[in-house]
Structure 1
Amino acid sequence: MTLIIEDCTGKPDAESYASAADLVMYARKFGVTIPADEPAQEALLRRSALAMDGMTWKGRKMSSDQALAWPRRGVELDSQIKPDNYLPARIQYGQMALAAEIHTDDIDPVEKRTGAVIRERVEGAVDVQYATISNTSGRLLPAAPDRPSATQFADYLAKRGLFAVRA
């Protein structure tokens, strides 16, 4: 099934901001791992677009009929209001980074990960001990220690950074 790409018009049936060919180019350029077949690449792009729709972005949708969160109206960046049909390149790059992160989580599930090496002893046989990953929240963080998608999206999210809640 062909992936329907958002073209800054607010398509009611758009599924992605980037094509599978864009994702392949991104993966080659940044050295990330993605599936080799196009249907799996398109599925990753659809999954990342759905994840992006759950984020709280600046501004509001350009049209209530559009399928994806972007394009948006009323987006202020660097003291400038961006045009309504503006689709930032960082949104497209962020989607591709998020797709690669989702794939990393798929091939390296969180529950099978170990912490950093905290002890390694060599006396004939090798003895390696891993740190326990603390999980006080009941959730482990996703796979990649660095999340390039979060960096790409930072300026376009309604809130960014750490927030303290006063009780």
Structure 2
Amino acid sequence: MTLIIEDGSGKPDAESYATAEDLAMYATKFGVVIPAGVAVQEALLRRAALAMDGMTWKGRKTRSEQALSWPRREIHLDGENKPHNYLPARIQYGQMALAAEIHQDDIDPVEKRKGAVVRERVEGAVDREYAAIPSTSNRLLPAAPDRPSATQFADYLQTRGLFSIRV
């Protein structure tokens, strides 16, 4: 089934910002591993788009009935107000990066994964310890925050970078 691509008009049935062909070119350019079949690539792009819908973006959806989070209105970026049909290239690239990260999470064995950093000591050499991930867990761990998709999305998310919490 062919993906329905968002073109900036706020389609109510859009499923992705990128095509399987776009994802294949992205993988070639950046040397990431993706599955060979078009149907599986499209499924990865759909999963990435769903993950993106859970993110807190700047602005508001252009139309309440649009399927995906973008396009958005009330976006002020780089000193200018962006038009209501603005669809940043980094949203498309971020979706493709996220799709590649999801695929990597799918194919990595559980024992190879690392949990959150629970201890880090810097004194000459760096000593880092990761939380254990049980091999009995059936949950797919989300892509790590230091992956390329997070960099692509940074300017468009409500909260960017580090923030402090007053205790």
Fold conserved between structures, TM > 0.5: yes
Unaligned 5+ runs, structure 2: 115-127, 133-138
Cα distance change on mapping 1:61 and 1:144 into 2, 3 Å: closer
Matches within 5 A, 1:1-167: 1-109=1-109, 111-113=110-112, 133-134=130-131, 146-167=146-167
Residues 98-122 of structure 1: CA distance to partner in whole angstroms, max 9, x if unpaired? 000000000004x31166xxxxxxx
Q: Distance in 1 between matches of 2:140 and 2:48?
A: 19
CA contact (8 A) 1:71 1:87 kept: yes
Assess if the C-alpha contact under 8 Å between 1:114 and 1:132 holds in 2.
Answer: no
The aligned residue for residue 124 of structure 1 is none
Contact between 1:104 and 1:144, CA under 8 Å: does it hold in 2?
no
Instruction: Report the equivalent of 1:118.
Output: none
| 1-structure distance, mates of 2:34, 2:72 | 29
* 4+ residue runs over 3 A deviation: 139-146
Is contact 2:105–2:141 with CA below 8 Å preserved after alignment? no
Structure 1 gap segments, 5+ residues each: 116-130
Q: How many residues align structurally? A: 149
Give the C-alpha shift of residue 78 in structure 1.
1.3
Q: Provide closer, same or farther for how the CA distance between residues 105 and 64 of structure 1 changes in structure 2, counting only shifts above 3 A.
A: same
Residues 58, 156 of structure 1: 8 Å contact kept:
yes
| C-alpha distance after superposition, 1:101-157 (max 9, x if no partner) | 000000004x31166xxxxxxxxxxxxxxx85235xxx9975668411000000000
**Among the aligned pairs, what percent are the same residue?**
74
TM-score normalised by the chain length of structure 2: 0.82
Corresponding residue of 1:127: none
Q: Is the 8 A contact 2:106 2:140 kept in 1?
A: no
Q: Which amino acid aligns with 2:36?
A: A
2:68 is paired with a residue whose SS is coil
Query: More displaced, 2-11 or 140-149?
Result: 140-149
Q: State the 1:34 CA deviation.
A: 0.2
CA RMSD of aligned residues (A): 2.3
Q: TM-score, normalised to structure 1's length?
A: 0.82
Q: 1:145 to 1:72 in 2, by over 3 A?
A: closer
Of the structure 1 ranges 55-64 and 155-164, higher mean CA displacement relative to structure 2 is found in 155-164
- d(CA) in 1 for partners of 2:54, 2:113: 29
Is contact 1:14–1:67 with CA below 8 Å preserved after alignment?
A: yes
